[in-house]
Amino acid sequence: MPESKSPTSPLTVLILAAGQGTRMNSDLPKVLQPLAGKPLLAHVLDAAASLRPSVLHVVYGHGGEQVRATFAAVTHGGIPLRWTLQAEQLGTGHAVAQAMPAVDDAQLVLVLYGDVPLIRPETLQELIALADARSLALLTVMLDDPTGYGRVVRGAAGEVQGVVEHKDAGAAQRAIREGNSGILVAPAALLRRWLVQLKSNNAQREYYLTDVVAMAVRDGIAVRPLVAPTAGEVLGVNDKLQLAELEALYRRQRAEALMRAGVTVIDPARLDVRGEVTVGRDVQLDVNVVLEGPVHLGDGVHIGPNCVISATRIGAGTEIRPNCVIERAEIGERCQIGPFSRMRPEARLADEVHLGNFVEVKKSDVGRGSKINHLSYVGDSTVGSRVNIGAGTITCNYDGANKWRTEIGDDVFIGSGSMLVAPVKIGDGATIGAGSTITRDAPAKQLTLERGKQQTLEKWQRPTKKT
């Protein structure tokens, strides 16, 4: 996320996150509901921190301890993080008033909402630039259906005169399409004065923050509106339907950003990007791919259908075939992975490695040009270069209490159906006969095998079911 330059005046960001979210029908507080794999409030904090304010101040209420525990750090994005409890939810004006004692009069105050996750830093930077010690900046939005939104009332010359909440608006005011996003920037000294003048004589018996707009007009303070570039970035979340709508919008935005960067996305509606993703040239993403950042895809990487890639770097020219799950791994250049491969944390592949169908690698290093093509498990191991591991091979790394390592040298051939019982070392150039259970070190350039004597019992009868 881009960082802005420091604002002309010191900036404090107040994020209102005290709403109960009863329409969510969930034990999870509304601002902790997940969008693209992280809480709604985390998206807002990320956008706010990118502005480099003096402090991030969160006003919390319902489920407050759970919210605070989720964001336990004292900073977010390097910005100090402060918390204020709104014990009673008496409206947005009341919520801001709870935090104002901690705000210096010299600050500009940006008010954001913990359930409006798609607000863009670029829009906020433009809004902040409109505010100063004698000006209030107000973010508005043009809506086809503004039902439920406060309406921005303008005069004949287009000047903002005030904001009327939907429940308090008359028929003519409800016909106005310009809605109030609730996001504003105001000088702290004036905001403090206006907040103590708020009244709750309205349909909801609440102290509306938006009433300060009319107060600014009354006091001769300039109200400078900014219409949001898109409605999506100021949409709030009140129920699971709206949450799903924003999730779809977020997915589309991320897919479009990748396509603008040159990525071929087979179906943007079936790509899910969560977190930071960086890409090289000529990357291709097939349907139902999930990227959970940080993910880096090098030049020419192709990701097949139904793959989940999490916190992984993939080198240039590598192909991930369908139905692979890769988590916290490093993959070199020109590798071939899958189909149906799984790479677990701390799996590292050098260049030109092949992992085939139903192969799992965990906490292991696999050297250049090695192949593990079928139905095998390699865990807690070091595998050299140009190794061929046959189908059904398992490194037996866990004794029930401790994990042990398997070390396989360069140019080793492991026959199918072999069990390598760690700790064990296989020397360079060694061959392990198919069906062997190796419990001792195998010398370099020799054939090592372990097999029981094959027997045939001539008079043996297969058991039959009783009728």
For the question of residue 62 being annotated catalytic, the response is: no
Torsion of CA 206, 197, 98, 186, to 10 degrees: 110
User: Do residues 162 and 153 make contact, with C-beta atoms less than 8 angstroms apart?
Assistant: yes
Sole residue written with tokens 């070190």: 441
Nearest 5°: CA angle at 53, between 193 and 63?
Answer: 75
Helices assigned H by DSSP within 20-120: 40-49, 64-70, 92-99
Could you give the count of Cα atoms lying within 13 Å of 80 in the half-sphere of its Cβ? 7
- Tokens in use for 345? 């944390």
Residue type present at position 55: V
d(CA 67, CA 87): 14
Output the CA–CA distances (angstroms, integers) from residue 448 to 46, 59, 378, 427, 443, in the order listed.
57, 68, 19, 11, 8
Count the neighbouring beta carbons within 10 Å of the beta carbon of residue 382.
16
Instruction: Specify the 3-state DSSP secondary structure of 262.
Output: coil
d(CA 327, CA 309): 6
The number of residues in the chain equals 467
d(CA 58, CA 32): 13
Annotated catalytic residue within 62, 76, 166, 374: 374
Query: With 0-12 CB in 10 A as exposed, 13-18 as middle and 19+ as buried, what is 344?
Result: middle
Count the neighbouring beta carbons within 10 Å of the beta carbon of residue 233.
23
- Tokens in use for 459? 């008079």
d(CA 383, CA 385): 7
Q: Which residues are catalytic?
A: 374
